[in-house]
Amino acid sequence: MANIKVIYGAPGSGKTTYAKENRQLNDLLYDFDDIMQCLSGLPYQESNEHLIDYVMDFRDLIIDKLRYDSNIGTAYIITTFIQNDLKKKLNDLNVEYIKIDTDIKVCLDRLNQSNRSDKDRIKQVIKDWFNHYDRVEDSSDVVYKTKEQKKKFYNSTAWKKLRLLALNRDNYECQQCKLKGKVSKGQNVHHIKEIYFHPEFALELDNLETLCINCHNEEHERTFDKIKNSKKESKWDDEMW
């Protein structure tokens, strides 16, 4: 029975690089993106939704065969999230889970520099991954859970100084619009890792990005239509800009 190493991490964290650098003779590597490219003929990291089941079936076939194959040294399985169905399939095997703990800013920078056509979707996957695997427990010394706690933070001198640093660094330009090839004014400073889950990054400059109102609303999954009733630009009561 082969040893299995499940390599998981956010998009852009370096999962595949890690596996390829550590792979030896007679090792096996399952990478969704590699197999999708082979089956579809699409550019690397682009996907045909009609072929996803085929790619996943290929993974399951490999896992089943590993139960009886003594010729494979280590099987590397690349994944973003560790889903319950994968855990069940690996339950009776010799498995090691390896988390690629790359900083979220690095993942986002790598995404921005890539030529992927689905950057908006992948950015959300990156944020979802960090919110899922990198949350701070409620027992943290500093928390921003209530409206009052967050209001106090956004009114603090430390936040106001850091906010200006972020705006100057980004030239008062919306970073999400730049990603889409547009230039627009930005005055909202957004926490990439939300302070509700990650209070330890509340005053980290690298955790901030300048956004316009529309992009900021989208980041918080709120529709702009809900605040159009006001003639002036509305502000969410949980963030002070």
Q: How many CB atoms lie within 10 A of CB 135?
A: 14
Question: 172-206, pLDDT tens digit by residue?
Answer: 999 999 988 999 999 999 998 888 888 888 888 98
- Tell me the CA end-to-end span of the chain in Å, nearest whole number: 57
What one-character-per-residue DSSP string does 67-131 give? Answer: TT-SS-SEEEEEESS--HHHHHHTTTS-EEEEE----HHHHHHHHHHS--S-HHHHHHHHHHHHH
Against a cut of 0.75, is the pTM above it?
A: no
Using CB atoms within 10 Å of the CB of residue 235, give its burial: 0 to 12 exposed, 13 to 18 middle, 19+ buried: middle
Tokens of 102: 């790359």
**DSSP 3-state of 202:** coil
Q: Is the pLDDT of residue 236 over 70?
A: no
Phi and psi, residue 142, nearest 5°: -115, 125
Which tokens in the block code for residue 89? 């399939």
The residue type of 80 is T
The answer, yes or no, to whether residue 222 has pLDDT greater than 60, is: no
CB 211 within 8 A of CB 122: no
User: What pLDDT sits at residue 228?
Assistant: 47
Q: What is the pLDDT of residue 14?
A: 96
Give me the domains of the chain, ranges plus CATH numbers: 3-99 (3.40.50.300), 135-227 (no CATH)
Closest CA to 47 of 120, 128, 117, 126: 117
Q: Using the predicted structure, report yes or no on whether residue 159 has a pLDDT greater than 60.
A: yes
pLDDT in tens, 74-99: 999 999 999 888 988 998 899 999 99
